[in-house]
């Protein structure tokens, strides 16, 4: 099948995934028995500052604003419409803060930690894995076992260990947070410099585990390729080992690209909890807070954004694979 | 970069046709088995441990000592008792979810791989869709929708969101098995689809099923603890994730109460590592091309061969006679 | 009687992998004349492929060559391969002095490179100065000479059929005009018409002195009897009988040879057909010397 058809097919399935994700995102929270607005209003009432009449007004205001009195399918349409125009609604808990603002503040922190972790982790991990496979011997054993251990560790477990070891005990890094108390986020050198010291531990706990996973995968693929017929044949023709290494690398990379898509999904998921551990003001912390507050618009918005981001990343990776793998890029012409 | 060929002392073992004939379990396998069994024992030990996890035996974050090997947590409970109970709960959830996920995955994979054609495309498309959507997100959404989550409901939910891995692995194997002759024989003799799948196809993919199950259990345990740390764990129960959740909520890390969060962290890491190691060593048993021989044996064999070669060379060219031009030495 | 092309003496190979090594080739010697095709026949597991690997100097662990001497092209090459160092030592000969045509060429080309890259790499392996243009020119000439489409050079492996790949690998293996070609079961994976094309190609190449001799390893006796000048019958790591094809087929001396032949051939019919595939002008197979090498012990 040609590259064009491959891309079209992938696009089709990803569209299905997107629709499923959006629908799930909309539907599930609404299956909650009872009304989230009830919870909030009763919370307000508990504060005692609101009279019975005010409660009613607030309640009706909420219902109208969030469209909770309309039939389900209508709510879905409203929801879709709002999502596509980029309006993610208003927060329940932080009313009247807009969800867009909340996410806008949190997202850069998450991306700043996760994106470099993925890129650096992928390159470094594959290199380490390839070298281990080629050198063999004790080097390989050591690298494989430690990489396996690191890759097996949940992201947040490493976070906890690093936080305790390097921040609490050794005092080398600050204990949680993203910047020093009293500072406000801004694009100034002073602020960024301060934020860097808070950046290291969260970044390391993501990148180290990611490297471990990539190294293990690459090592297995390279070892598998080492036993391939084309390696034997190239050797039989007198081709030097360096050249053969290049052949092996190109072949081993392909499944690694496919694996990258999944690894990104896992990293994003794990990063959520890592932010909790470090009190890092990214979307993970935002989500956690929203869950405790039953703040449905925020919860929905965060899950939607995360899902769309992961789907997009996966889609791009799959396209890249289609371009790189000659079996897809160059259609089968069937020379006889 | 040195030669891609593994050095002589690390040769691959001679290919064996039937992996079960010589189950060459490596050191890795035994280590992983010890880890997994050890953790299971830790969980079971909770039944015989004198203190119950709900018993208040001290105040907030008492340090270890005075009969409490791991001190108390934020509720004043014995951390070790909570740890044991938590391990047990996590293992149970992992097991149940693993069974659910493996069953669904195997069924989907078998059907897809064996039937093939558009049906396979459809099933695999669905599988990929489920795989692409980050499972933690789905779990979060489901968890906030359910009023209360018990251990069992959580395990089932985790199971039904994590089967795609197994389905993919099983499908690849099933479709290669489907083309073998004895399947055709079974088909011709009138056997029906479920029968063929169970009796003829399943044994071949059993090894992959086992490996997938191991991974599913580990994945489920981790998924549950992630949910628990987000506050969406099984209500009223103790699990490793819930233990960590409270530790974070009460600032145990910052406060230096290492006994409250290090044990569950370590146990979680060991659980994950143990299962992964188990799966990887099983992978080597079933996939000989990944094997990389035993050191001591290789060294002895290599030395033996070198000696033999030397003797043969001496026979052909006794000392004193002109040696053949080893022109290759100029390489 | 043709001049001697190559002589191999006392080749001994073992498979390592456990407590004890398994002896696959137990002291084998053979000779090949210029322009000759030596058929190496035997049942599966008799060690003929291993012997081929030893001769082509590509024995990799778990296969080890404990001893063996190859005299070819005025050189005496120690075939023993015990370590990576030996493999390196043999590299200059591989593909140039002795070349291998492997069994099942299906996966012999890396899936992510085009054929022309492999061609260039093969040529560059022994002479780094060869440019891509030079390498491709040579390849094109060879392809045309052997009636193969030139556009395979631009293809990836997955775009070619099995038969085409096998013939292509044959071309690549002989690009450097090796003195000796070891062909390991080249026809086993092919259908009958592809088999015929391949065999004719090999014969044409020998005739045109692209290579000076071929060791044709196979269990397929009918093909061998049509193609080879000499036969060597192998069993359990040793050569039990060797000699001119016609004589061996019509008057086998060793019991095993007789058993092998009787299970496959109708001698009278096949040897009559023998002349058909051979082109004329070739030094005939009537060499009077017939050594019975039953091992060096």
Tell me what pLDDT residue B12 has.
39
Residue ranges of domains in chain B: 90-237
pLDDT confidence band for C140 (50 / 70 / 90): very high
Question: What does the pLDDT look like over B84-137, one tens digit per residue?
Answer: 999 999 999 999 999 999 999 988 888 887 777 888 888 888 888 888 888 888
pLDDT confidence band for C99 (50 / 70 / 90): very high
Tell me what pLDDT residue B5 has.
38
Tell me what pLDDT residue B317 has.
64
Is A277–B248 a contact, with Cβ atoms under 8 angstroms apart? yes
Element (H, E) at B113: helix B79-115
CA B282, B286, B291: angle at the middle one, nearest 5?
85
C126 interfacial to chain B (CB closer than 8 Å): no
Work out the minimum CA distance from B329 to partner chain C, whole angstroms: 6
pLDDT confidence band for C294 (50 / 70 / 90): very low
* Between B314 and C68, residue with greater pLDDT: C68
Least confident of A56-65, A249-258, C39-48, C129-138: A56-65
Tell me what pLDDT residue B76 has.
82
Residue ranges of domains in chain C: 4-245
Tell me what pLDDT residue C180 has.
93
Is C121–A234 a contact, with Cβ atoms under 8 angstroms apart? yes
A271 to chain B: closest CA residue: B226
Listed ranges B187-191, C6-10, C16-20; the one with the highest mean pLDDT: C6-10
The whole-angstrom separation of Cα C83 and Cα C60 is 8
User: A224 with B289: CB under 8 angstroms?
Assistant: yes
Nearest CB to B229 within list A137, A161, A273 = A273
Least confident of B178-187, B252-261, B299-308, C285-294: C285-294
The whole-angstrom separation of Cα C271 and Cα C252 is 13
pTM of this prediction? Answer: 0.80
Classify C283 in phi/psi space as left (phi over 0), alpha (psi -120 to 50) or beta: beta
Q: Residue C270 — φ and ψ, nearest 5°?
A: -70, -45
Tell me the CB-side half-sphere exposure of residue A335, using CA atoms within 13 A: 20
User: A18 with A304: CB under 8 angstroms?
Assistant: no
Per-residue pLDDT of chain A (336 residues; tens, 9 = 90+): 578 888 998 899 899 888 888 888 888 777 766 566 666 666 655 555 556 676 677 677 667 666 666 777 777 887 888 777 877 777 766 666 788 888 888 999 999 999 999 999 999 999 999 888 888 778 888 888 899 899 989 999 999 999 988 888 888 888 888 887 777 777 788 888 888 888 899 999 999 999 999 999 999 889 888 888 899 999 999 998 888 888 988 899 888 998 888 899 899 999 999 999 998 999 999 998 888 877 778 888 899 999 999 999 999 998 988 888 888 877 654 433
Q: Which fold has domain B90-237?
A: MetI-like fold (1.10.3720)
DSSP letters for B60-81: TTPPSBTTBTT-B-TTSBBHHH
Q: How far is CA C52 from CA C28, C41, C101, C189, C262, in A?
A: 11, 11, 10, 18, 25
Nearest CB to B14 within list C62, C82, C91 = C62
Nearest CB to C61 within list B12, B304, B328 = B12
Q: Residue A184 — φ and ψ, nearest 5°?
A: -110, 140
A237 interfacial to chain C (CB closer than 8 Å): yes
Residues in chain B: 331
Check whether C172 has a pLDDT greater than 90: yes
Nearest to B134 by CA among A281, A267, A294, A258: A267
Q: Identify from A224, A231, A232, A233 which residue to disrupt to test chain C contact, counting C C-beta atoms within 10 A and taking the largest count.
A: A233
Kindly report the average pLDDT of chain C as a whole number: 82
Tell me what pLDDT residue B55 has.
78
Chain A residues in contact with B256 by the CB 8 A cut-off are 168-169
Q: How far is CA A217 from CA A254, A316, B209, in A?
A: 11, 20, 20
Nearest CB to A236 within list C102, C109, C149 = C102
User: A75 with A68: CB under 8 angstroms?
Assistant: yes
Kindly report the average pLDDT of chain B as a whole number: 78
User: C116 with C154: CB under 8 angstroms?
Assistant: yes
A272 interfacial to chain B (CB closer than 8 Å): yes
Determine how many CB atoms are found less than 10 A away from the CB of residue A15. Answer: 13
Tell me what pLDDT residue A203 has.
94
Question: What does the pLDDT look like over B193-217, one tens digit per residue?
Answer: 677 667 766 766 788 888 889 989 9
Question: What does the pLDDT look like over C202-229, one tens digit per residue?
Answer: 888 888 888 899 999 988 888 888 888 8
Q: Inter-axis angle of helices B258-286 and B240-249, to 10 degrees? A: 150
Q: Residues of A65-95 as b/e, b for ≥16 C-beta within 10 angstroms?
A: ebeeeeeeeebbeebeeebeeeebbbbbbbb
- Cα-Cα-Cα-Cα dihedral of A141, A143, A147, A149, to 10°? 50
The CATH number corresponding to C4-245 among 3.30.300.30, 3.40.50.150, 3.40.50.300, 1.10.357.10 equals 3.40.50.300
The distance between the two most distant Cα atoms of chain B, rounded to a whole number of Å, is 92
Check whether B22 has a pLDDT greater than 80: no
Check whether C164 has a pLDDT greater than 70: yes
């Amino acid at each position: 099948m040609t590259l064009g058809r491959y891309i079209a097919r992938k696009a089709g399935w990803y569209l299905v995934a997107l629709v499923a994700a959006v629908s799930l995102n909309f539907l599930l929270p609404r299956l909650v028995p009872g009304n989230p607005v009830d919870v909030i209003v009763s919370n307000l009432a508990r504060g005692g500052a609101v009279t019975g009449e005010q409660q009613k007004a607030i309640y009706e205001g909420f219902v109208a604003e969030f469209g909770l009195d309309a039939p389900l399918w209508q709510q879905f349409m409203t929801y879709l419409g709002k999502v596509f125009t980029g309006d993610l609604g208003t927060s329940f808990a932080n009313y009247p803060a807009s969800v867009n603002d909340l996410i806008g503040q949190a997202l850069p922190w998450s991306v700043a930690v996760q994106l470099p972790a993925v890129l650096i982790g992928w390159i470094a991990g594959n290199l380490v894995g390839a070298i281990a496979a080629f050198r063999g011997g004790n080097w390989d054993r050591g690298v494989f076992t430690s990489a396996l251990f690191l890759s097996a560790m949940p992201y947040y477990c490493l976070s906890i260990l690093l936080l305790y070891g390097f921040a609490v005990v050794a005092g080398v890094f600050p204990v949680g947070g993203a910047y020093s108390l009293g500072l406000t986020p801004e694009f100034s050198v002073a602020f960024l410099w301060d934020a860097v010291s808070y950046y290291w531990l969260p970044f390391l706990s993501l990148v180290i585990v990611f490297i471990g996973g990539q190294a293990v995968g690459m090592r297995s693929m390279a070892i598998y390729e080492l036993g391939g017929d084309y390696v034997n044949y190239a050797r039989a023709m007198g081709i030097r080992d360096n050249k053969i290494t290049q052949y092996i690398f190109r072949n081993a990379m392909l499944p690694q690209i496919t694996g990258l898509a999944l690894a990104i999904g896992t990293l994003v998921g794990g990063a959520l909890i890592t932010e909790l551990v470090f009190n890092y003001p990214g979307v993970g912390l935002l989500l956690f807070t929203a869950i405790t507050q039953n703040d449905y618009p925020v919860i929905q918005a965060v899950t939607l954004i995360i899902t769309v981001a992961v789907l997009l990343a996966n889609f791009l990776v799959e396209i890249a694979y289609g371009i790189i793998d000659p079996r897809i890029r160059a259609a089968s012409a069937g020379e006889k | 970069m040195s030669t891609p060929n593994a050095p002589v002392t690390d040769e691959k073992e001679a290919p064996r046709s039937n992996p079960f004939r010589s189950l060459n379990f490596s050191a890795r396998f035994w280590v992983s088995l010890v880890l997994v069994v050890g953790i299971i024992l830790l969980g079971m030990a909770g039944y015989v441990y004198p203190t119950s996890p709900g018993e208040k035996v001290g105040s907030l974050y008492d340090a270890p000592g005075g009969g409490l090997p791991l001190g108390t947590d934020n509720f004043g409970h014995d951390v070790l008792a909570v740890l044991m109970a938590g391990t047990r709960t996590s293992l149970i959830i992992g097991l149940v979810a693993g069974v659910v996920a493996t069953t669904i995955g195997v069924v989907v994979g078998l059907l897809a791989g064996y039937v093939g054609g558009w049906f396979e495309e459809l099933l695999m498309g669905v599988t990929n869709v489920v795989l692409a959507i980050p499972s933690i997100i789905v779990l979060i959404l489901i968890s906030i929708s359910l009023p209360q989550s018990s251990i069992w409901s959580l395990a089932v939910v985790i199971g039904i969101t994590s089967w795609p891995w197994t389905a993919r692995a099983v499908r690849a194997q099933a479709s290669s098995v489907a083309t073998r002759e004895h399947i055709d024989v079974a088909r011709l003799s009138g056997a029906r689809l479920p029968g063929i799948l169970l009796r003829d196809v399943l044994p071949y993919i059993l090894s992959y099923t086992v490996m997938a199950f191991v991974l599913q259990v580990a994945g489920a345990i981790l998924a549950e603890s992630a949910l628990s740390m987000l506050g969406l764990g099984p209500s009223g129960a103790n699990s490793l994730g819930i233990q960590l959740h409270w530790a974070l909520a009460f600032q145990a890390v910052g406060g230096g109460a290492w006994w409250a969060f290090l044990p569950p962290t370590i146990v979680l890491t060991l659980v994950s590592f143990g299962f992964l190691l188990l799966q990887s060593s099983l992978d080597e048993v079933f996939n000989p091309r990944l094997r990389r021989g035993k050191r001591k044996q290789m060294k002895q064999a290599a030395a033996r061969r070198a000696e033999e070669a030397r003797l043969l060379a001496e026979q052909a060219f006794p000392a004193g006679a002109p040696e053949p031009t080893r022109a290759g030495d100029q390489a | 009687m043709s001049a001697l092309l190559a002589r191999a003496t006392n080749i001994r190979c073992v498979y390592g992998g456990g407590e004890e090594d398994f002896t696959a080739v137990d002291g084998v010697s053979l000779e090949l004349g210029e322009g000759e095709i030596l058929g190496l026949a035997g049942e599966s597991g008799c060690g003929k492929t291993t012997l081929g690997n030893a001769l082509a100097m590509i024995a990799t662990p778990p296969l080890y060559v404990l001893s063996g001497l190859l005299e070819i092209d005025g050189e005496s090459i120690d075939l023993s391969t015990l370590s990576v160092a030996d493999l390196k030592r043999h590299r200059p000969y591989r593909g140039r002095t002795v070349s291998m045509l492997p069994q099942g060429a299906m996966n012999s080309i890396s899936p992510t490179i085009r054929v022309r890259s492999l061609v260039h790499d093969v040529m560059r392996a022994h002479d780094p100065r060869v440019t891509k243009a030079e390498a491709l020119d040579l390849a094109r000439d060879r392809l045309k000479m052997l009636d193969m489409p030139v556009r395979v050079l631009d293809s990836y492996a997955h775009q070619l059929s099995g038969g085409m790949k096998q013939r292509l690998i044959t071309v690549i293996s002989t690009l450097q005009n090796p003195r000796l070609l070891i062909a390991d079961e080249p026809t086993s994976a092919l259908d009958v018409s592809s088999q015929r094309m391949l065999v004719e190609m090999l014969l044409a190449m020998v005739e045109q002195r692209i290579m000076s001799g071929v060791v044709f390893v196979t269990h397929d006796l009918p093909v061998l009897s049509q193609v080879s000048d000499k036969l060597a019958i192998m069993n359990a790591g040793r050569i039990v009988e060797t000699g001119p094809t016609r004589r061996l087929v019509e008057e086998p001396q060793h019991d095993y040879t007789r058993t092998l032949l009787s299970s496959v051939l109708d001698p009278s019919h096949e040897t009559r057909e023998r002349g058909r595939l051979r082109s004329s002008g070739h030094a005939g197979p009537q060499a009077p010397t017939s050594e019975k090498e039953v091992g060096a012990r």
